[in-house]
Structure 1
Amino acid sequence: MSTTVDPYSSINTPSTSANSGTAAASADRFLKLLVAQMQNQDPLNPMDNAQVTSQMAQINTVTGIEKLNETVTGLNTQFLQMQAMQGASLVGRDVTVEGNRLDVREGIGVGGMDLSGTADSVKVDILDASGRTVDTLDLGAAKAGTHSFTWDASKAGDTSGYTFRVTAKLGTATVTNTALMRDTVAAVSTSGNKLQLELASSGTVDYTAIKAYN
């Protein structure tokens, strides 16, 4: 009695082929098993063309996915390299990221916020290193979106550790906001498939965390 050999008993499905070797090795193994199956098939119940076509289609799918994965990996690597080259040009430049540290230079403090909606009253409390409010700015009404402010720090003395707090209202309702701060790019690095920026005050952040380039 003849023995039927199943080509799929020794090859992987498309979801696992990448872990078991190259597509070329899988295809070669498949063809050898397919020939063995045809040589040992039951003469009274031979394989039909549809079955052979189906099996060939599956191995082609395995090979295609393997090649597609290799192509995508290559493109990702090239894209990351391009990003790193572009990111290098940012070293020394100012950027805007999430945070509430007050950036003070030459006696002027700078900060900002992103309002989720329109506000008829926006106030900014300037806090010293101990968290004590040293001044309050009344910015008035503002529309949804990103806004910035400046604060005269010339008479404040040591402003290291200064932060700010934004309060936005529409009537009696609170308008959600995100504090934004200015920082400086010190270096660029890559980690895995991510481009990261080393900021002078905020440390390491993903490239995508940058809200604006100043």
Structure 2
Amino acid sequence: MINSATNSTSTSAVSSASVAASTTAASSSGAGSAANLTQSDFLQLLTAQLKYQSPTSPANPTQMAQEFAAISTVDGINQINTQLSSISTANGAAQMAQASSLVGKQVAVSGNTLIANSSGAATGAFSLPSATGSTDVTILNPDGSVATTLNLGALSAGQQSFSWSGGKAGTDYTYQITAADASGNPVSATPYTVYNVQGVNLTSSSPTLNVAGSATALPVSSVQTVLGAA
């Protein structure tokens, strides 16, 4: 009877001590839930478990190995998330700097629209894969009729631009490029729509550009080339 009472008392003491150690470790983490336990808290709990384990029923080594693997995985994921957050913040700052540098400049995006400003002037741009012997720009009214044709002559390969001052303020026109090399063979040009950047929009997940002549902000990634000051 005495031995039975003694064993019962010993087991109760072990259990109480283990609970106390667990409570202390959880409190040190600043929260009482396992979701908030740190790696240090886990090791403190494990030490208490080993210290107060019953001699007749020691801790299962396989289970302990699994617990080590679990806490290492969680700790690794937390470190990765921290690194990704830092990278995201750095990328956001770089995008903001890039967008801000475009304010007050003319940028070209894919398209063939000519946007007449308040004085009726418009700027267009295009890219040539090779040099031309002749280059013509046909400007079309909104109804599809021809407004005028500009003869730009021979041009070198690469980015080109042109200006037109015969438009009506606030009107969108379109244009077509007809080009040929010195032998008369056609040269296919890539047209661009040119916008004047007025500001940076920060309402979306990444900065966009507020431009004259468009109610929709432009993604910075849509910019094909920068022509210079507006």
TM over 0.5: yes
Shift of 1:182: 2.5
Question: Which one of the candidate residues 169, 183, 197 is aligned to 2:195?
Answer: 183
Counterparts in 2 of 1:21-170, with a 5 A limit? 25=37, 27=39, 39-41=58-60, 47=62, 52=65, 56=68, 59-81=71-93, 83-84=95-96, 87-88=99-100, 90-104=102-116, 106=119, 108-115=121-128, 117-120=129-132, 121-153=134-166, 160-169=171-180
- Paired residue for 2:6? none
> 1:145, 1:213 → 2: CA distance?
13
Task: Show structure 2 runs of 5+ residues with no match.
Answer: 1-32, 51-56
How far does residue 204 in structure 1 lie from its aligned partner after superposition? 0.9
The offset of 1:58, in angstroms, is 6.4
Given the alignment of the two structures, is residue 212 of structure 1 paired with residue 226 of structure 2, yes or no? yes
Q: Distance in 2 between matches of 1:134 and 1:58?
A: 72
TM-score, structure 1 normalization: 0.62
Q: Deviations over 1:32-79 (max 9, x none)?
A: 69x79x9443xxxx65xxx94x97466434422322222322342354
Amino acid at match of 1:206: P
Distance 1:184-1:158 versus aligned 2 partners, 3 A rule? closer
Shift of 1:160: 2.0
For residues 8-42 of structure 1, what are the alpha-carbon distances to aligned partners after superposition, in whole Å with 9 as ceiling and x for unaligned?
xxxxxxxxxxxxx9986485797669x79x9443x
The alpha-carbon distance between structure 1 residues 165 and 55, as it changes in their structure 2 partners (threshold 3 A), is farther
How many aligned positions are there? 183
Per-residue deviation, residues 93-149 of structure 1 (Å, max 9, x unmatched): 43333332224455643211123x215343211111211112222334444421111
Contact persistence 1:76–1:193 (CA under 8 A):
no
Identity of aligned residues (%): 30
Q: TM-score, normalised by structure 2?
A: 0.58
Q: Which runs of 5+ in 1 are unaligned?
A: 1-20
- Looking at CA atoms only, which structure, 1 or 2, has the larger radius of gyration? 2
